Chains A and B, each alone.
Chain A
């Protein structure tokens, strides 16, 4: 069946089964490969996108549940102030190694900062522990989130 989606500010139509996960619509149908597949069971966070600003695991989000809510992916997160600050901090701190999980990390981090501009270490643990990084870049992720929070605080 045909589904109309609002992705990164553009309306897209796709013809897939209702239970098709959003992840595969993004990656395989629309060719937006920045969102990654990691586990298929919401265990690793690699596929994190925003739905109406809240982080969601696209690998278990059936397309029929998205409706006309706004979907934001890594490709467009730099257009938001938090996303931009997070990406800049990621560059300054040199967070990524293999980089594969980082789209999801950045989506989780920018959702955190949008809700909580001054997260504590415990807040960071709570928001980020659903995102696995096998390269173990956690120390730099934490540092970059704090740096992005500071930059946002200065109105950068």
Chain B
């Protein structure tokens, strides 16, 4: 069975300065610079670990004399299966079984572990772990394999070409001699690193493309998996907090007499814009928090409402934005069109509502700081702690953990900053846990977007002009400023441009408008979460205006994109498109090409007399290139569909008097078992490089659902979430 030190390492006592220093020296002696940087934060027992490591050809692989093979994961596991699919890439070329490897979280080091598809940030997001790793991590595995074979060939004095590797053993074919990787590791470390390595042909893959069992599952069914919220350094106290209910507000006064009298409450920490109660356990901390009397200076946004923001965005779509894509001449084509179709669309702010509420454990000492957290961006977490404490980066150790739901929330490190701010006032380690109410009311939200879109159709009803202008926040502009250029960024526009359809004249503009008084962030399926809803709803409107079948209408525009055409045909066939349905039941379709994957969905919905919508069935066809772990792809689509249906039917964060009005799962509901649709996933066989799979299903399912509602009721929904009152039977 897989032993996974990553799940246990976090329970170990923090590395002392002494053992860390010793480890640095020992590590340098055996493995060189790379070894140091990736073993440091995991030094359960530094000297011993360093002794065991004999071969570390790159930052991702360590092979010990004892044969232990450790793969270091640059991406973090938050349910998307990356702890299995990434090892599959390395293990395929290294020629080891997944059962032979152990997994570790990578430490913060952007040089080694930066994500080339995210501007070099060491982050897990935008569905690109497999995409970014596909070439380099197979090469990492192949390099190590080549050096192990070279070491064996030298030992046996034979031609390396006569040797091959399998299941962690090098074998000399003609003599039958074998040597295990562990026996070869010390010699392999002395072999020249090859400039170029040959990668396996897809037809020779043994692991890639097979449904692999996930390495993180066993610990997740018996309660032993350790998430950030489970960190328990010795002596840890628990804090919970109240942040200004209006964003940007400040604490005016605190009466903490009653809170201090609560049994188990140890300390009240007052910050400029938040108050925390430190206690022996969360029960006491929450009781203490409830007993606090806090007066807030609410600041600038005390009267802000969502309607104010929506109005500003709508206004912005009347002015010009930055041109994201222009094909042909839209104005001319529009002027000559037989029919013109126009619409506006809106999508709401959304919270992430990860099942694991925001939390972070911190121990601030005079000369160092330790952080225990589950983060999608570990180097940013480290930098955030360094900034608050004033310590140099190398004095901040971050222990990364499994993530109880990321969806973009844990790309942000506001929770780390907040926890360190509080912990600097506390002796000893402190775990800061947000209540669910705090988690929902102080999230960083999927932006509100407003779209103004129009199209011109020719006499046959086919689109000759497509004109789309939308306004909303750019998360990239804040998160990764160098990627925001000329008023545009690649995320905000994804799914609005580079459509799979042949549109002879197309013009897309984006106007960046940052809403006041509410922070925004990436949210599962990011830019496409909004753009695909708009483009695929509008494409449906065009089909309706042309009085054509929505699938046939789309197919007619896909001659130049055969992969898109194929997934659409497959989804329609499997969903029995065209087969009659009862009254108030309808099918809707969507097609998208985002995250480098092609996906088509057919949703089947039933609309009750009172307007309640039940999504009965979702059929998905996907071409995501080579399917690394087909079982994970199926799981991710099932998951993304539930996430998207949740948003379509229930998801909305609103502001009144500057405050987020929703607070917990009763007024910010998530889809439950009794509402879950059946989901069928059909994967197209492909030898193209892999596309992203963690998010695509979320953006794709939303318009399929609203298009199905249109089919069932004739009612076109242009604003999310679904308004059930509008769907009541007349």
A: which residues have CB within 8 A of B?
Answer: 16-17, 19-21, 23-25, 27-29, 31-41, 43-44, 46, 73-75, 78, 87, 90-91, 94-103, 106, 124-126, 128-142
User: Can you name 18 A-B pairs with beta carbons within 8 Å?
Assistant: A16-B263, A17-B263, A17-B287, A20-B283, A23-B283, A28-B281, A33-B230, A36-B404, A41-B436, A46-B355, A96-B221, A97-B81, A98-B79, A129-B672, A135-B643, A136-B641, A138-B671, A139-B676
Assembly CA distance A119 to B671 (angstroms): 21
Q: Distance (Å) between the CB of A64 and the closest chain B CB?
A: 12
B284 CB–A CB distance under 8 Å: yes
- Known contacts: A17-B284, A99-B404. The answer to whether A134 contacts B355 by CB under 8 A is yes
> Per a CB cutoff under 8 Å, which of B78, B283, B666, B672 touches A41?
B666
Q: Which residues of B from 639 to 655 have beta carbons under 8 Å from A? A: 639-643, 646
In the complex formed, the residue of B with least CB distance to A29 is B281
Assembly CA distance A129 to B403 (angstroms): 23
A94/B213 in contact, CB under 8 A: yes
> Per a CB cutoff under 8 Å, which of B226, B227, B672 touches A132?
B672
Query: What residues of B have a CB within 8 angstroms of the CB of A133 in the complex?
Result: 355, 642
B638 CB–A CB distance under 8 Å: yes
B355/A91 in contact, CB under 8 A: no
Q: Distance (Å) between the CB of A147 and the closest chain B CB?
A: 13
In the complex formed, the residue of B with least CB distance to A86 is B221
Assembly CA distance A43 to B679 (angstroms): 25
Query: What residues of B have a CB within 8 angstroms of the CB of A141 in the complex?
Result: 673
Bin the interface of chain B by size: 35 or more
A40/B221 in contact, CB under 8 A: no
New contact pairs (5) apart from A23-B283, A134-B643, CB-CB < 8 Å: A24-B283, A28-B280, A34-B223, A74-B223, A97-B635
- Known contacts: A91-B218, A124-B673, A133-B355. The answer to whether A28 contacts B282 by CB under 8 A is yes
B157 CB–A CB distance under 8 Å: no
Q: Distance (Å) between the CB of B438 and the closest chain A CB?
A: 10
B: which residues have CB within 8 A of A?
Answer: 77-81, 213-214, 216-227, 229-230, 232, 238, 262-264, 280-284, 286-287, 353-357, 402-407, 433, 435-437, 631, 635, 638-643, 646, 664-666, 670-674, 676, 678-679
Assembly CA distance A38 to B124 (angstroms): 23
B79/A97 in contact, CB under 8 A: yes
Shortest Cβ-Cβ A-B pairs, 8 listed: A34-B223, A136-B642, A100-B404, A97-B79, A98-B79, A99-B220, A28-B281, A74-B223
In the complex formed, the residue of A with least CB distance to B641 is A136
A28/B221 in contact, CB under 8 A: no
A136/B664 in contact, CB under 8 A: no
A125/B674 in contact, CB under 8 A: yes
B666/A43 in contact, CB under 8 A: yes
In the complex formed, the residue of B with least CB distance to A74 is B223
Query: What residues of A have a CB within 8 angstroms of the CB of B218 in the complex?
Result: 91
Query: What residues of B have a CB within 8 angstroms of the CB of A101 in the complex?
Result: 355, 404
In the complex formed, the residue of B with least CB distance to A46 is B355
Query: What residues of B have a CB within 8 angstroms of the CB of A139 in the complex?
Result: 638, 676, 678-679
B355/A100 in contact, CB under 8 A: yes
Q: Distance (Å) between the CB of B15 and the closest chain A CB?
A: 21
A129/B355 in contact, CB under 8 A: no
In the complex formed, the residue of B with least CB distance to A44 is B665
